[in-house]
Each structure stands twice: as C-alpha cells, then as structure tokens.
Amino acid sequence: MTLTRPGPRTASPTTSPAPATAPAPDGKRRGFLPFSGWHLLLAPLALLFAIPLVWLLLSSVMSDAEINRFPPALWPSGIDLGGYRYVLGNALFPRWFTNSLIVSAVAVTTNLLFGALGGYAFARMRFAGSKALLVLMLATMAVPFQLTMIPTFMVMKRLGLIDTLGALVLPSLVTPFAVFLLRQFFLSLPRELEEAAWLDGCSRMRVLFTIVLPLSRPALSTVAVLTFLTTWNDLTWPLIAINHDTHYTLQLGLTTFQGQHHTRWSAVMAGNVLTVLPVLLAFLGAQKSFIRSLTSTGLKG
C-alpha cells in the first residue's frame, strides 16, 4: 500500500495535484486492457439497472400469445402493437392521461407562481409576522402526509370536491418546499439589480416579474421538474380522493387496469410505458438541472 506511486511523490514537491503528466492518474493499470478495468464492473451493473425497463419496453410490443405460453418468451419475435392499440382504444386510458396532465400542469404553474410570490416576500420584504410565518412554513415541511391525509379528506368532502379533479389540484397548489427553495435562490441574487428598478418607481410585482424571475431560471426549473415528478407519480392521494373511474389519474388507472386485465399483459405493459414515458422524457431533457436540484436540496436538508 505504501508503495503506490513512488514516482510522482518524489517528482512533485510542489502542491500541484495529480499532474497531467502522471502516467496513471486514478491509479488504474494501463496496458493490461485496452480500456479501463472499471468497465468490467460498471457495465454489467448499469445493465442490471436497465434490464427491467428494457423488459418493460420489450413486453409492451410482444403478443399476448408469446407472453402467456410457458415458459414465456424472453425476446419478441416481431413488433406487435396490439397492446398499444388496446390501451389507446380503451376509452378511459386517454382520459386518465389527460387528467394526470391537467393536474400536473396546474400544480406546476401554481407552484411556480405562488412559490415565487411567497419566496420573494420572504426573501426581500420585511413585514409583520414574516419570521413566525417562515418558521411555521418550515415546520410544515416536516409533517408527513399520512398525518394530514384523513382530515384533508374530510376538508375536501366538506368543500364538495371529493371525486373531482379539484380535490387533486387543491392540496398541490403550492408547497412550502417551492416557497422555501425560491426564497433561498432569491436571497443569493445581488440586491443592486432590483434597487435600480425600485428607485425608478417600479412596483414589487414588476420588479419580481421583470428582473428577478428572468434571473431565476435554474431555481424555477428545479421547482417545475420536482413538482411535475411528484404530482405525476402520486398514487396515495388520488386513491383516497377519487372514486369514479372517469376521474382517475394515470397512476390510479394503471393499477386498476392491471387488476382488471390480468391476462392482457401486453396491454398493461403498453399502458405502463405510456405512464413512465413523460417523466422519463422530462428527466432526460433536464437531467443536469434535475440532478443538481436533487443534490442541492438533499445536502442542505
């Protein structure tokens, strides 16, 4: 162990770390393989994580005959779109997709809007009760959903919203997370930019919308992506709040669809692909900012 890399140690008394001239940075052995030995470990591991999703895609284009024989086929003999045709022809599935889209779109929009307004007030305005309110807001971030779901159901029932999309939209209008995250971001912006506009007589609202928000795109995209992910993927609350199948979201619809069509696996998997695809595309499209947001919120939490 102590014998590793005696060369660079004596050769570089300066503090320059890992110079490019070092023969084997990272301590990997050269010449043994035409590529780094780490590939031998990482490639199979990555494949292991990919296989279930590959299998999802493959089985969605298999015929039910292929799936239902024993032992079932592991590779489709040809592309059979029967599953997709069944799912899209089933009147309810497109409906569920639309419902999910509506709920997610509303949640993303309102979280951005109300999160920005609230976050800006907490970041830049000093007002009576602001400190207490901020503490309260932070405290509610720690409240588990299971604690509030029963009374929330009762509130929604009194409002006459149970079994409507309103019941799904209302609790996700704005989260303390969105307010807090945007507040933190606004605090990191230099005040001088706003002050100039301020002194020219702009209102708070105008300063926020014309100066602050255009500078806050990273934080706004974080809120948008995470809000979309949580509302699109949620199952618990729709399960509680919705009874009638025309108001199902995609997640809720998919579980019941699976229960009712136990032998039509190709259709179930086609529906599953359609459920996963939007978040997958959103993730691949915004991968960098997505991961940055996860780690930054994670490390601070």
Q: Give residues 205-244 in contact with another protein (rule: CB under 8 A).
A: 229, 232-233, 235-236, 239-240
Binding residue (CB under 8 A) for another protein from 108, 165, 254, 270:
254
| Using rule CB under 8 A, residue 153 touches another protein | yes
Closest contact distance (angstroms) between CB of 143 and another protein is 6
Q: Which is nearer to another protein, 219 or 252 (CB)?
A: 252
Q: Is residue 202 near another protein by the rule CB under 8 A?
A: no
User: Binding residue for another protein (CB under 8 A) from 68, 164, 221, 289?
Assistant: 68
Residue 137 near another protein by CB under 8 A:
yes
For the chain, give the secondary structure using H, E and C: CCCCCHHHHHHCCCCCCCCCCCCCHHHCCCCCCCCCCHHHHHHHHHHHHHHHHHHHHHHHCCCHHHHHCCCCCCCCCCCCCHHHHHHHHCCHHHHHHHHHHHHHHHHHHHHHHHHHHHHHHHHHCCCCCHHHHHHHHHHHHCCCHHHHHHHHHHHHHHCCCCCCHHHHHHHHCCCHHHHHHHHHHHHHCCHHHHHHHHHCCCCHHHHHHHHHHHHCHHHHHHHHHHHHHHHHHCCHHHHHHCCCHHHCCHHHHHHHHHHHCCCCHHHHHHHHHHHHHHHHHHHHHCHHHHHHHHHHHHHHC
Query: Site mask, another protein, residues 17-36, x = CB under 8 A?
Result: xx-------xxx------xx
Using CB under 8 A as the binding rule, the residues of this chain from 98 to 127 that contact another protein are: 110, 114-115, 117-118, 120-122, 125-127
Binding piece for another protein, criterion CB under 8 A, among 78-86, 89-97, 211-219, 248-256: 248-256
